[in-house]
Structure 1
Amino acid sequence: MDKQVHIVCFDAPAPPDYGGVIDLYYKIVALANAGIKINLHYFQYKAERNHQGLEQYCHAVHVYSRKSPWQCLASPLPYIVASRINKELIQRLNGDDLPIVFEGVHSCGVIPFLTNKNRKVVVRLHNNEAAYYQRLAQTETSPLKNFYYLVESNRLERYQQQLPKHLSYAAVSERDRVVFHEKYGLEQTSFVPPFVPWQEINAEAGQGKYCLYHGNLSVAENKAVVLWLLEHVFSKTDTPFVVAGKNAPQKLADKIAQHQNIRLVNNPSDEEMERLIGEAHINILPSLNETGIKLKLLHALFRGRHCITNEAGVAGSGLNELVHLAEDADAFSTLVQTQMQQAFTEKEMQQRVQLLHAYNNQRNAAALIALL
């Protein structure tokens, strides 16, 4: 296949170390392996992020800077959108009529500036961003950040209502597909599962050593989840627990240190995180947010044993059969105690093989190419 596309990313796609960027990185690899020539465009605003490792998969790479909040003060658009409207990007996209994939509503601010209104455009919906920012506001303790999240959520709600109806959209979860189709009137919305590094089940049957929560611990929602687990689940039992992830705040580290049965692993390497997930007997991953898809849950299902979450954590993934569900503290505590006694079996592993086939990158690349 000799097809070229532009991919406009809201962030640098490497390293692939958090949800949305994992999808970007492995999507580029999968599309290139399917014969697509990729013109990559991305916004770089953190010095440590770039496109390292993707050079061989891209026909061309262009890097842009985001506008500062002060440059966007007069704009009624959400900041995540207004800050990515770039004249140089617009000129490059208008230099040909190739199909474009816009990654996230973040990147959609340049769509009105495209001269060819009949051009093939696909928007990758990583999240219901209005709902996501509303949830961030609910979990944020800083008054200034809380105000920003509320304003951004309201602006995103209006912006998502105005997204062009004639374009194609690809949601990362079935739940988001339904929301964007029914609430926002985007009739051409498909469910294309996220692209992930895990393509084979690599879990081990038998018994693990502890119960693990993992995530980016600098994110307000994840901090709130850990604090809830500490107070309502981890402190109620002698079960060994491990909390692992990036950039744990000192206050969180201090709270964890108060409990003898709970251990913090701060900023583990990729190899150490793989080991922690693989050696755990239970991966416990409740979520406060129903939007998008929880890639850390997928990671646990490909690499770990038992998984406990809530309905919000598995919504739209089609993976309910592979997890144990709880909705309150007592249910989580009970499941932890019962599942710690239950060996993880080969039968459960085979069930994962069948259901996780939906997250095959080659298959999902073909589904995305069909939209182009």
Structure 2
Amino acid sequence: MQKRLHLISFDIPYPPSYGGVIDVFYKIKALKALDIDVILHCFQYSQPQQPKLLEYCKEVFYYERNSFFKSMLSNEIPFIVKSRGNDLLISNLKKDTAPIVFDGLHTTHVLNLADFKDRALFLRAHNVEHRFYKGLAKSESNIFKRNFFKQEAKKLKKYEKIISQMDAVFTISPYEQAYFLKKYGKKCTYVPAFHDAEKHTRKFTKSKRSVLYHGNILVSENVKAALFLIDVYKKSKFDLTIASSYINKEILKEIEKYSNINFYHIKEQNELYRLFEESHINALPTFQKTGIKLKLLNTLHQGKFVIANNDMIEDTGLKMLCEKANTKKEFLQKTTELMAQDFSEKMLEERQKVLVDLSPETGAQKMVDIIFK
């Protein structure tokens, strides 16, 4: 009998151009390779539907998120959860009895709205969410947003108890695994982040000597990182590209001030591949530690040199593959050094020896063995 499962994604997982959706997309792709029929349910922001997903999914359903004000009228349910409550989603999930994988705590509100006690339920934990939102509050300069993130963190800490309804939890890094294992015991299994592990054609010595930063610049943590890098390179001789599938007016306004800095709006996955191929250095600062960053893993597979700070690389097992820099001066110094070097086939081979243990195929099989045991 054909194995099938429902997977509820917090966002449309294509193109996989930023952290969370990288894990979702390559997880779906790996499950497809194991002959699992994935019925994908995803929430839209302003993005168009993505026919590409039908290459990997049996069916794809799209849902609008609830309005901000409607979703804020709760003292118990976090906004990121309540805004994803949807009657049509419940109806589609009830069409069969296949297992349900909730991709992120964000997607679990249907459990508060309907009875799913007869179903096998699984959570892919992307973060310890209340810690993540506490970190966002620290990164946010806007008073309203900072207070919102603080309130979300408090609600998420209480809401986390919904995990007790799950048959199993798949954690994304050793950092998260340690936390969830202590609180929820043996139902928690570490499944490394899914990412693009395929080899793509690269130009090793003919690339532009430019710097790339990519990420979801609607998230305050990434906005802070992008603004930090603009400040690093604005008066330098180096070209910097900020790339995202989302447009942030604050970032665009700042970029327009400098001729050596530009923004690239990612619409297709191949565009990100091209940016990786063309860019000599990937600059990846972050200002909160929340386990392994998907953009780091993806960049190490697809990009060339990586400069990252402590919060990006500590406790990931990957810091030996990166150049470390924490201050603006250190980022510029490392950039100057790396621009004088070529990224070689030998460097790539050494990198792949470290990354081989993080195979998406192995992770998908581990999930399948638990879900369909």
TM-score per shorter chain, which class? 0.7 to 0.9
Q: Which amino acid aligns with 1:8?
A: I
Deviations 1:82-139 (A, max 9, x none): 2223344335445544221111101122335665646432201122222222222222
8 A Cα contact 2:53 2:60, kept in partner: no
CA distance in 2, matches of 1:16, 1:188: 28
Unaligned runs of 5+ in 2: none
8 A Cα contact 1:13 1:49, kept in partner: no
CA distance in 1, matches of 2:248, 2:45: 22
CA distance in 1, matches of 2:279, 2:265: 18
**Within 5 A, what are the aligned runs for 1:85-164?**
85-94=85-94, 96-111=96-111, 115=115, 117=117, 119-164=119-164
Q: Which amino acid aligns with 1:290?
A: K
8 A Cα contact 1:13 1:50, kept in partner: no
Deviations 1:3-61 (A, max 9, x none): 12121222233343433223222322321231112233333343x33342222443344
8 A Cα contact 1:75 1:82, kept in partner: no
8 A Cα contact 2:230 2:261, kept in partner: no
Q: Which residue of 2 aligns with 1:16?
A: 16
**Within 5 A, what are the aligned runs for 1:196-345?**
196-200=195-199, 202-206=201-205, 208=207, 209-231=209-231, 233-235=232-234, 238-246=236-244, 249=248, 252-259=251-258, 262-267=260-265, 270=268, 271-315=270-314, 317-345=316-344
How far 1:285 sits from its partner (Å)? 0.8
* Range with greater deviation from structure 2 (265-274 or 192-201): 265-274
Q: Which residue of 1 aligns with 2:31?
A: 31
CA distance in 2, matches of 1:230, 1:116: 48
* Range with greater deviation from structure 2 (203-212 or 348-357): 203-212
CA distance in 2, matches of 1:258, 1:57: 42
How far 1:353 sits from its partner (Å)? 1.5
CA distance in 1, matches of 2:253, 2:112: 49
Deviations 1:146-175 (A, max 9, x none): 222221111112212552176311122222
Q: Which residue of 2 aligns with 1:43?
A: 43
Q: Which amino acid aligns with 1:146?
A: R
Q: Structure 1's 109 and 186: CA in aligned 2 closer, same or farther, altered over 3 A?
A: farther
Q: Structure 1's 268 and 114: CA in aligned 2 closer, same or farther, altered over 3 A?
A: closer
Give the TM-score normalised by the residue count of structure 2. 0.85
8 A Cα contact 1:204 1:305, kept in partner: no
CA distance in 1, matches of 2:297, 2:129: 21
Unaligned runs of 5+ in 1: none
Q: Structure 1's 56 and 275: CA in aligned 2 closer, same or farther, altered over 3 A?
A: closer
Q: Structure 1's 4 and 114: CA in aligned 2 closer, same or farther, altered over 3 A?
A: farther
- In structure 1, the residue corresponding to 2:170 is in which secondary structure? strand
CA distance in 1, matches of 2:322, 2:106: 32
Q: Which amino acid aligns with 1:175?
A: Y
8 A Cα contact 2:252 2:263, kept in partner: no
8 A Cα contact 1:199 1:360, kept in partner: no
Percent sequence identity over aligned pairs: 32
8 A Cα contact 1:30 1:362, kept in partner: yes
CA distance in 2, matches of 1:101, 1:249: 31
Aligned pairs, how many?
367
- In structure 2, the residue corresponding to 1:287 is in which secondary structure? coil
